[in-house]
Amino acid sequence: MSERVQDALLIEQRRERLSLRHAWTVDLIEGNGVTISALQETGDRLRGLAPVAAQRNDIRLSQRADDGGLI
């Protein structure tokens, strides 16, 4: 299957899952496969970083509590 067909199928699948408000945003960018790929890659990176960032924030909060004599 060609890359453009795969991109079109992926867009359609995502559009089905999104609310109408979000689907409008997809319509704005669907003509540019490079933009879509970049957005997907960025989203994947953010999803991967979110648990790490949350864990680091928890560590910082517990260190502050230790420093303040709260724990």
The number of folded domains in the chain is 1
The CA-based dihedral angle spanning residues 8, 10, 12, 18, taken in that order and rounded to the nearest 10 degrees:
-140
Contact 15, 23 (CB under 8 A): yes
- Residue 53: predicted pLDDT: 55
**Would you call 31 exposed, middle or buried from its count of C-beta atoms within 10 A (0-12, 13-18, 19+)?**
exposed
Reading the chain (71 residues) residue by residue, the pLDDT tens digits are 578 888 888 877 776 666 555 555 555 555 555 556 666 666 666 666 566 555 555 555 555 555 555 54
